[in-house]
Structure 1
Amino acid sequence: MATKFKPFDVVIARYLLKPNEVFHLSKPLMYGAKINTGFGSINHDDIIGKPLRSIVFGDKDKKHKYIVTRARLPEYVINVKREAQPIYPVDASLIVQAADINVSYPTLKSVDDTEIYKEIDIFRRRGYKLAKNKRNDIKNDSSSINKKEEIIQEKLLILHGPINSYNGKTITRCSTPPLQFLECGTGHGSLTLQICKSIHASNCYFDGINDLSRGSIIHSLDRNLKHMKIGISTVSGFQKGIYLDDVEFHYEPIGPSNWVNSDIANYYRQLCDTTEFLQGCFLDMPSPEHEFTELSKYLTVDGFIIVFTPSISQIWDCYTFVKDNDLKLTLVSTFELLTGGNGGMREWDVRRVMIRNSEMVGKVVKPRIGVRIVGGGFIGIFRKIP
Structure 2
Amino acid sequence: MRSASTTLRRICGRHSSPASICSQYRTLATFVERDIVILRQKSNQDNIIVSKPLNPANKINTHKGDISHADIIGKSPRDLVTSSAGHDYRIHTITLAEYVSMTRRLVTPIYPADANLIVSLFDLHSSRADEAEKIEILEAGTGHGALTLHLSRAIHGANTQCPKPAPVSEGTDDLSATEQESTDEQTECDDAVTAWKASRKAVIHTIDISPKYSKHAAKVVAGFRHGLYADNIDFHVGDASAWIKSEHARRDSEEPFLTHAFLDLPATHDHLSAVASALKNDGILIVFNPSITQILDSIQKIKREDISLFLDQTLELGNNGSSGGKPWDLRAVKPRASIKAQTTEHSSDSAQSSGSEAPSETPQELNQAITRDPAQTLKEIKPEDSDWTYVCRPKVGERITGGGFLGIFRKMNNPVRP
TM range (shorter): 0.7 to 0.9
Taking the aligned partners of 2:105 and 2:152, their CA distance within structure 1 comes to 19
Distance of 2:202 and 2:98 partners within structure 1:
26
Checking the alignment, whether the CA contact within 8 Å between 1:345 and 1:374 is kept in structure 2 is: no
1:216 aligns with 2:202: yes
How far apart in 2 are the matches of 1:310 and 1:82?
19
Return the offset for 1:205. 5.2
Paired AA for residue 403 in structure 2 = G
Secondary structure at the aligned position of 2:30 is classed as coil
Matched, 1:257 2:224: no
Q: Distance in 2 between matches of 1:370 and 1:343?
A: 14
Equivalent in the alignment of 1:313: 293
Q: Which has the higher strand share?
A: 1
**Counterpart selection for 1:378 from 377, 402, 405:** 405
Q: Name the SS for the 1:249 alignment partner.
A: strand
Give 3-state SS (helix, strand or coil) of 1:297's partner: helix
Q: Write the distance in 1 (CA, Å) between the matches of 2:294 and 2:206.
A: 22
Q: Secondary structure at the match of 1:230?
A: helix
Aligned: 1:102 with 2:87: no
Alignment partner of 2:67: what SS? strand
Aligned to 2:353: none
Higher relative CO (CA 8 A, sep ≥ 6), structure 1 or 2? Answer: 2
Aligned to 1:120: none
**CA distances 1:60-102 after superposition (whole Å, capped 9, x unpaired):** x42x110011111111111111111211111111122222222
Separation of aligned partners in 2, 1:199 and 1:212: 16
Cα separation, partners in 2 of 1:373 and 1:215, compared to 1, 3 Å: farther
**Residue pair 1:99, 1:304 contacting (<8 A) in 2 also:** yes
More helix by proportion, 1 or 2?
2
1:17 to 43, 60, 70: 43
TM-score (norm 1): 0.76
- Tell me the TM-score normalised to structure 2 length: 0.70
In 2 relative to 1, CA 5–232 (structure 1 residues): closer, same or farther, beyond 3 Å? same
With 66-75 and 332-341 compared, the bigger mean Cα shift is at 332-341
User: Corresponding residue for 1:244?
Assistant: 230
3-state secondary structure, aligned to 1:36: strand
Residue 205 to residue 72, structure 1, CA distance change in 2 (3 Å)? closer
Tell me the secondary structure at the aligned position of residue 13 of structure 1: strand
Which of 193, 198, 203 is the equivalent residue of 2:149?
Answer: 193
Query: Match for 2:314: what amino acid?
Result: T
Tell me, yes or no, if structure 1 residue 280 matches structure 2 residue 265.
no
Partner of 2:313: 333
CA offset at residue 183 of structure 1? 0.4
Unmatched 5+ stretches in structure 2:
1-26, 164-192, 340-386, 414-418
2:71 is aligned to 46
* Aligned residues with identical type, % of pairs: 39
Please say which structure displays the higher CA radius of gyration.
2
373 and 216 in structure 1: CA distance in 2 versus 1, 3 angstrom threshold: farther
Whole-angstrom distance in 2 between the partners of 1:188 and 1:76: 11
When structure 1 is superposed on structure 2, of 186-195 and 337-346 the one drifting more is 337-346
Report the Cα offset of residue 53 of structure 1: 1.4
Task: For 2:116 and 2:206, locate their aligned partners in 1 and report how far apart those are by CA, in whole Å.
Answer: 17
Give SS of 2:265's match: coil
Q: Report deviation, 1:2.
A: 2.9
Partner residue of 1:55 out of 53, 73, 80:
80
- Residues 5-40 of structure 1: CA deviation (Å, up to 9, x unaligned): 011111001111122x11111111111111222211
One-letter amino acid matched to 2:48: F
User: Equivalent residue of 2:319, what SS?
Assistant: coil
Q: Which runs of 4+ in 1 moved over 6 A?
A: 371-375
1:69 partner amino acid = H
TM-aligned CA deviation for residue 357 of structure 1: 4.2
Distance in 2, Cα, partners of 1:97 & 1:206 = 26
Is 1:83 aligned to residue 106 of structure 2? yes
Are the aligned partners of 1:331 and 1:383 in contact in 2 as well (CA < 8 Å)? yes
Tell me the amino acid that sits aligned with residue 334 of structure 2.
Answer: M
Matches of 1:375 and 1:29 in 2, distance apart?
A: 38
Aligned amino acid, residue 404 of structure 2? G
